[in-house]
Amino acid sequence: MLINLSPTPPDAVMLAARLFAEDPRPHKVNLGIGMYYDEEGRIPQLAAVREADHRLRSRNRPWPYLPAEGLVDLKNKAMPVVFGEDQADDLRRRTAWIQTVGGTGAVRIGAELARAIAPDAMASISDPSWPNHEAIFRAVGARVSSYRYYDVESCDIDVDGMLEDLGRLPRGTVVVLHGCCHNPTGFDPTPAQWNHIAQVLADHGLIPFIDLAYQGFGEGLEADAQSVRIIAQSCNLIFVSVSFSKSFSLYGERVGLLFVVTESEAQAALVGERARAVSRALYSSAPSNGALLIAEVLGDPQLKTTWIDELDAMRRRILLMRAELVDQLAGGNRGANFAPIKAQRGLFSYSGLTRTEIERLRVDHAIHAVGDGRICLAALNAGNLPSVAAAIRQVSSR
């Protein structure tokens, strides 16, 4: 049988992950896909999660299907983390939710719902953004546009450009925002700027879709959710996709949540019903293990404190790596160009390295990053940083 299939262009992040996996060189470094590694270069098993795992195992429970919407305990414990205690109580009644297969699943189900709610709505995505945002919205048949976000000249966030572009979007456009730790640039609006953004979204009848995949890795757990909390005060239809992959170091468990804040309990019921139908047609219900682990941690004040401390330690270690990398690059040809790495937040840096330089890093030095110049700082440690810095100096000196 003839297979009538044209080649599929690879997702840039997944391509970097594949090339890293296939690289046989033992000293290879993975600055591609967004995963946090500890100082020893390992993906950590958080103590809070380990203890939760121990407790769950000792209860010797079976593994039934989760209900179609997912683990209600996870939703109840996660809502205050995302929306804040007080706001979560206010919003609970009019917020639809579904547990999803990772943050990606939350964006996909959210995109499906947005399309069902506003079939003609376009999706507007920051330029640049996580490549999967565009892929997901196109996959559900939405038209996609972009708004200005990053100024290449000044290597900084372009909030004025962003506000101007948002203000020109047709009413009902779904605006995809990164709640914190913008992927790939690492530049986030300040709370004052989020207030402006919320105002423009509300004034122009736009639908915010906040992707919160890195809460805790920017300025801290509470500060990183300010975007959501500010926007929830101004807009009355909001999508929030949440990923716990990074914050609990539970990547393969694929734990995500989608919240849709609506105007009323009746609307929330309709949206929740549709969300369950969408997930049923995709994979029925989300997996249970990671969700149970996270609910156990968030449900126990002591484990929750341990988790918050561990998350903060990861965040602070990345900041140290940022400062150290900038220091070690300072002496090179383009030293000054790398200074913004220190001001960026989250796992990533939009390094300014060109595609050719990224390719040289991979071919000559076994250092893997994303083709657009995004590097994952969370994979650096005292052991590999000097050689990474030396390699960057070398490829950027030609």
- Contact residues: ligand LMR, CB under 6 A: 13, 33-34, 104, 130, 132, 183, 213
Least distance (Å) between residue 119 CB and ligand LMR: 27
Residues 243 and 105: beta-carbon distance below 8 Å = no
Residues 6+ apart with CB under 8 A from 29: 366, 367, 368, 379, 384, 387, 388
Residue 271: other Cβ atoms inside 10 A:
24
**Residue with smaller CB distance to ligand LMR, 13 or 293:** 13
Could you write out the DSSP letters of every residue in 224-268?
A: GGHHHHHHHHH-SSEEEEEE-TTTTT-GGG-EEEEEEE-SSHHHH
Least distance (Å) between residue 199 CB and ligand LMR: 29
Residue 88's nearest CA partner among 228, 197, 218, 199 is 228
Please say if 246 is a catalytic residue.
yes
User: In Å, what is the CA distance from 83 to each residue of 86, 108, 181, 240?
Assistant: 8, 21, 17, 10
Q: Residue 54 region, left (φ>0) first, then alpha (ψ -120 to 50), else beta?
A: alpha
Positive or negative, the CA dihedral 282, 286, 290, 294 is positive
Please say if 194 is a catalytic residue.
no
First to last CA, the chain: 50
Least distance (Å) between residue 184 CB and ligand LMR: 7
* Residue nearest to ligand LMR according to CB distances in the complex: 34
Q: Active site residue: 158, 188, 246, 307, which one? A: 246
Q: Active site residue: 75, 77, 97, 130, which one? A: 130
Least distance (Å) between residue 229 CB and ligand LMR: 23
CA of residue 122 relative to chain centroid, distance: 21
Residues 177 and 210: beta-carbon distance below 8 Å = yes
Q: Active site residue: 165, 188, 211, 224, which one? A: 211
User: In Å, what is the CA distance from 63 to each residue of 171, 183, 283, 288?
Assistant: 45, 35, 17, 8
Please say if 342 is a catalytic residue.
no
**Residue with smaller CB distance to ligand LMR, 34 or 110:** 34
**Residue with smaller CB distance to ligand LMR, 33 or 260:** 33
**Residue with smaller CB distance to ligand LMR, 130 or 217:** 130
Q: Which two tokens stand for residue 255?
A: 């734990």
What is the rounded radius of gyration, in angstroms, for the C-alpha atoms of the chain?
21
The amino acid present at 315, given as its one-letter code, is R
Residue 189: other Cβ atoms inside 10 A:
22
Q: Helices 191-203 and 226-234: crossing angle, nearest 10°?
A: 30
Least distance (Å) between residue 104 CB and ligand LMR: 6
Least distance (Å) between residue 33 CB and ligand LMR: 4
**Residue with smaller CB distance to ligand LMR, 33 or 74:** 33
**Residue with smaller CB distance to ligand LMR, 162 or 376:** 376
**Residue with smaller CB distance to ligand LMR, 15 or 122:** 15
Least distance (Å) between residue 204 CB and ligand LMR: 29
Catalytic residues: 130, 211, 246
